[in-house]
Each structure stands twice: as structure tokens, then as C-alpha cells.
Chains A and B, each alone.
Chain A
Amino acid sequence: MFDPPSPADMIAQVRAAMAKDISDNFAQKVAANAMSIAERQIASADAADAAEMQRLGELLDGQGELEEMNRKLCEAIRNGDIAMGDAQLETHLIATTLQKIAVDQPGYAAYRRYLEDIGRA
């Protein structure tokens, strides 16, 4: 599950900004970044969401909409229903976060260094 704003909202906001004035160099770069995020999410969200849904189904032993399942997972962590150090939880959190940052900010220095370290840069 990706964070707000949605790709549609990002694109709409860039469009609105361009209609006014986006001649400032910094504003252009920020807009290009926003468009890249939307572009990457459109390309990968279906597969990422499906994988996340699969893992959540196994973790929580149930089904539901992605947001609902995430709320249930939050409750389970908050209540202590899932133990800290649970390997399946760790795997889920890491896998989900790696998919998120690949869309949100693939150039984040620590993430790039991580990819280099595991030979996947």
C-alpha cells in the first residue's frame, strides 16, 4: 500500500502548477520528481499490492481490502498479538517497505547503498 497523494492527485497537482507558472528551476525539478513517483507507482502498484495482500493474508490469516488489512496489522502489532521478532512480520515489513521506497525515492542514498551492497544496484 502506497502513501498519499495518489498518482492521480500528484499528476493533477503538477498540472495545476504548470497551468499557473512553473518556470522556476526548483519548481520544475520538484514537479518532475512528482511525475516520476506517479509513473513508477502506475507501473508497479498492481504487482506490489498483490504481493502485499498475499503476505498480509498469511500473517493475519484472513482476507479484506488492502487498507483494512493494514489497519488490522497495525492493531495486531499495537496489541502485542504479533510478537516483536516474529520472522514472518519482519519479512513482511521489509518487503513492503522496499517496494514503497523503490517507487517513492529509488535514489535515497541509504537505499542505493543497500542495493549496491547486495549486488543489485
Chain B
Amino acid sequence: MNPQADAAVDLADILTKAAVVAGMEPRDIGGVKQLSGGASSEVWAFDLATDDGIMPLVLRRQPAQQRFSSPGPMTLSTEAQVMRAAKNAGVPVPHVLFELPEDLQAGEGFAMERIEGETIGGRILKLPELAAARGAMTQQCGEILATLHKADVGSVQLDLENVGPQEALAALEQRYRDTGQARPVFEYALRWLADNLPDDDRRVLLHGDFRNGNLIVGPQGIRAVLDWELAQVGPPAYDLGWLCVNSWRFQNPHLPVGGFGSREELLAAYQAEGGAVFGLEELHAWEVFQTMHWGVICAGAGKSFEDGNRSVEGGVIARRASETEFDLLRLLMPDSETWHV
């Protein structure tokens, strides 16, 4: 009795059926291997053989039993649709081949092409074979985000969250207050944002988590953008600000864009590709917003721990809130003499 082997056989059967439903002619499914299994979703690699050859694929799945246990920001079905829409708009996204049909009772999920490359942020910044990639990635980030942001939001026809700057700020504040924690640095940042976060009527399709860590990178640069589950509609600077958050620069804090480039180059590439026009000041305000946003996520992990959802990893993530407090103060009071005391 080998539970893992049994699971793989069962899954191969499910995948074969799902491929058939999608109009494919699968000859064989092999190499079924679980890559990761979080509390609410699983990731599997597998190879699908057709008469045209072997396709290396990835399955993202939420098992049927878990369906009602954690709502999450987005269903896998919606995520697959977002990926298709982004790909249709010209963004490098893994091609989605099929979804798991409901009547297979195998949970919710989708299969996409498996793209080789590096995804770990710190490795992208230091592998010698990616030196040329690092030189190209800032430009590529600007082009990719502009391409995404030019997608016709109306035609995407998805029930995505649609939030403007002031609503986003109110939601951020509420999320902080929901932790119940007294954080003077966050209070200061909220006041600064109330005074400085610009209004913006523009609403674009946002990735929502576009950063070094969610990109597949090869020697020529970005091959694909991953993890679309936070996609939403909102002001364009939301995505660019998040990309510049210090936490995603890994060992290169002096290079604002992902640890590989400058804000100026990012904005120039973004606007050259037809992205929304805005300047460094607006980008700065969103960088402040998004730094606090990551901080509130970490603080939330602390609240969750205190509420009884305990894990070592959760406790350590909770203690990352202070990195964002450090970054916020560097952004908001860079010239204070206290830095030199």
C-alpha cells in the first residue's frame, strides 16, 4: 500500500478525463509528482502525451473536501480565467489547457503549461547565468505591466474587486485596525497617506502581486508571470508600487525594482509601452502604501497566531512586520538625524 503512488494513479485518471472533456486526445499521463501542498491548495507536475508530443504541465488544485473551508481571495476557476484574459492581452502567462470539470468530483483546479526557469528572488539576483536577464528585467517589467494595464477591463468580464485609491486606503486602515495592535509607525504612515496618496480615476486590470518572486526567469529575462490569485481592478500605480517594495529586493535593497533596476527605468519603459502616465512622486506614495500593506499582512499573521492558529512559520512571518516599519521610516523621514545617533 503506497498512498502517494495511489494518489498519483487516481490523479492521472482524473487528469486524463479532464483533458478529454476539454477536447484533447491524451495518450498517456506520466511523471505525476506533487510539488507543494498548502493548507488550501496543491500543486502537481505531470506530463501529458498526445500524438503531437509530450507536454510538461502543472496542476493547481483545491481538493473537493476543502472547498468550503477557506474562501480565499479568488477561486481557481476565476484565476484560470484571469490568466487567459492576461495572455490574450499579450502578457507572458502560462497557457491554461483545461480545468477540472465539476462532475469528476475531484475538487476545483486547472492545468497549465510548465515553464522552466528560476522563480526564487534571491537566486534571480545572483545566478551568473542570469546576468543578462537582470539587465533586461526592469524594461520587461515596465512593458509587461503596461500591456496588462491596457487590457480592456470591460471585456474581461470577471467579478473582480474594483477599488480606487481612497477606498484602498480605508481598507488598508481597517485591515490594520482589525489586528488590534497599537503600531505608531503604521498610524504615522496612514496620516501621511491620507495627505499624500493621490486621487486617480483610472481603473486597470491589476496583477495584484507583481513582484520578484512571482516571475519565471530565464537567461533572456522574464518568461512568465505567476500567481494571479490577487488580480483586481484599480489604479495603475498599485502594481508598480508593490513591485518596488523593499522586501522584494532581497539582497539588493539599493535597486528599487525587484533588486535589479531603477524606478526611472521602470516608469520610462512602462510609459513607452503605453502605460498610464504618472511621475515618481505618485510612485513613491504607492510604494509607501504597499510597504504598509505588506506590513499589515505580516501583522495579521501575528494576530492569527494569537488567535490560536499557531505555527513556527506564522510566528516568524509575524516578526517581519518590523522590516516594513523600518522601510516606512526610511521612506518618510530619511533625513532625520536620529539615523546617525
Residues on A facing B (Cβ under 8 Å): 1, 3-5, 9-10, 13-14, 16-17, 27, 30-31, 33-34, 37, 67, 70-71, 73-74, 77-78, 80, 84, 87, 89-98, 100-101, 104-105, 108-111, 113-114, 118
Report the bound CA distance from A71 to B326 in whole Å: 20
Contacts of A109 on B, CB cut-off 8 Å?
249-253
Complex Cα distance A77/B182, Å?
11
B326 and A74 contacting across the interface, CB-CB below 8 Å: no
Using Cβ atoms and an 8 Å threshold, which residues of chain A touch B273?
A: none
Residues of B within 8 A of A (CB): 181-185, 187-188, 190-192, 195, 246, 249-254, 299, 302-303, 305-306, 310-313, 315-316, 318-323, 325-327, 329-330, 333, 336, 338-341
| Residue of chain A at shortest CB distance from B333 | A90
Cβ–Cβ contact A5 & B185, under 8 A: no
- CB of A40 to closest CB in B, whole Å: 10
Q: Which 5 A-B pairs have the closest CB atoms?
A: A110-B253, A77-B187, A100-B322, A70-B182, A94-B338
List 18 extra interface pairs beyond A4-B306, A73-B182, A74-B184, CB under 8 A. Answer: A4-B305, A5-B302, A5-B305, A5-B315, A5-B318, A30-B316, A37-B316, A70-B184, A73-B187, A74-B182, A80-B191, A84-B191, A91-B336, A97-B185, A100-B325, A104-B320, A105-B320, A109-B252
14 contacts between A and B (CB under 8 A): A3-B181, A10-B312, A16-B310, A34-B312, A78-B187, A89-B188, A94-B339, A95-B338, A96-B185, A101-B325, A101-B326, A105-B319, A105-B323, A111-B326
On chain B, the residues within 8 Å of A16 by CB distance are 310
When the two chains form their complex, are residues A34 and B315 in contact, meaning their CB atoms are under 8 A apart? Answer: yes
Task: From A77, A80, A113, give the contact of B254 (CB < 8 A).
Answer: A113
Q: Which of A4, A13, A80, A90 contacts B338 (CB 8 A)?
A: A90
Query: Which A-chain residue is minimally distant from B183 (CB atoms)?
Result: A74
Q: Contacts A90-B338, A93-B329, A118-B340 hold; do A105 and B313 have CB atoms under 8 A apart?
A: no
**Given A17-B312, A31-B312: A94 and B329 within 8 A (CB)?**
yes
Contact partners of B246 in chain A: CB under 8 A: 110
Residue of A nearest to B325 (CB): A97
Q: How far is the CA of A61 from the CA of B336 in the complex (A)?
A: 22
A80 contacts across to B, CB distance below 8 A? 191
Nearest residue in B to A17 (C-beta to C-beta)? B312
B188, A77: Cβ atoms closer than 8 Å: yes
- CB neighbours of B327 from chain A (8 A): 110
Contact assessment for A94 and B323 in the assembled complex, using a CB-CB cutoff below 8 Å = no
Min Cβ gap B301→A in Å is 9
Asked if B253 and A14 make an inter-chain contact with CB atoms under 8 angstroms apart, the answer reads no
A93 to nearest B CB, angstroms?
6
Kindly state the separation between the CA atoms of A87 and B181 in the bound complex, as whole angstroms: 24
Q: How far is the CA of A87 from the CA of B337 in the complex (A)?
A: 9
Closest to A37 in B: B319
Residues of A within 8 A of B322 (CB): 3, 97, 100-101, 104-105
List chain B residues, Cβ under 8 A from A14: 312
State in angstroms the CA–CA spacing of A53 and B95 once bound together.
56
The reply to whether A84 and B192 form a contact with Cβ atoms under 8 Å apart is: yes
B324 smallest CB distance to A (angstroms): 10
> A85 to B238, alpha carbons, bound, how many Å?
26
Query: Shortest Cβ distance from B278 into chain A, in angstroms?
Result: 24
Q: Which residues of A contact B187 (CB under 8 A)?
A: 73-74, 77-78
Chain A residues with CB under 8 A of B305: 4-5, 9
A101 to B312, CA, bound (A): 19
